[in-house]
Structure 1
Amino acid sequence: MINQKTIMEAVELLIKAANPVRIILFGSYARGDNKESSDLDFLVVEKEIKARRMETVRLRDVLSPLRIPVDVVVVSEKSYNEWKDAPGTIIYEAAVEGKVVYGAT
């Protein structure tokens, strides 16, 4: 399992690399039902994104030295605000069940 210290190290790396508006931990670690094989799921909200796929890959690479299973979803602040109330989307899932680990709620 991934301990709280490692989760916060991941958050710090994401903050330094992305200058995000908000970072939300969601999925099993946010719900508290994580297992040994569970990964970390982060939704990283940035002010603007020019190339979302490239940014996602870049942020995953930033976390690679931690050697933990992690999934990073990157969205713009505009997209977050548009989709946070739309059931069935990953943004909704993160907004409803996630824990804000950086930035405003």
Structure 2
Amino acid sequence: MIKENVGNLLKEMLQEVDYKEIILFGSRARGDYSEKSDHDILIVMKNNLTIREKMELSSILRKKLAKEGIDADFIIKSKKEINYYKTKIGNVVREVLKEGIRL
């Protein structure tokens, strides 16, 4: 499934939550993926979520995408967390912000 379709599906699924942006990263963003590659996705939330809320949201999204035949892994961070981690060398958030594709 092409990036735009995944982005549109996620935007539809996230209508009821207060998210800021969706970023595709990893092999799907770089273009060096195989048929078996999953979709690595960072969801930036406007507000903080508890760990439990992040896990629940990730689980719901993963299950809904699986029904569409899409394998996905999620990182869910608040804007505040993104601002903290974006300067940390070696942190995945920093790399996602540099190389990811905004959907």
Which category of TM-score, normalised to the shorter sequence, fits these structures?
0.7 to 0.9
Q: Which residue of 2 aligns with 1:41?
A: 40
- Which range moved further: 39-48 or 5-14? 5-14
- The DSSP-based 3-state class of the residue aligned with 1:58 is helix
Distance 1:11 1:34 in 2: 20
Q: Which residue of 2 aligns with 1:25?
A: 24
CA RMSD of aligned residues (A): 1.9
Point out where structure 2 has 5 or more consecutive residues left out of the alignment: none
Please state how far the C-alpha of 1:60 moved relative to its aligned partner.
1.9
- Superposed CA offset, 1:15-56 (max 9, x none): 325331111111111111111111111100112213322232
Distance 2:54 2:7 in 1: 23
Q: Which residue of 1 aligns with 2:15?
A: 16
Q: Would you say how many aligned residue pairs link Structure 1 and Structure 2?
A: 100
Q: Is the 8 A contact 1:25 1:42 kept in 2?
A: yes
TM-score with structure 2 length normalisation? 0.80
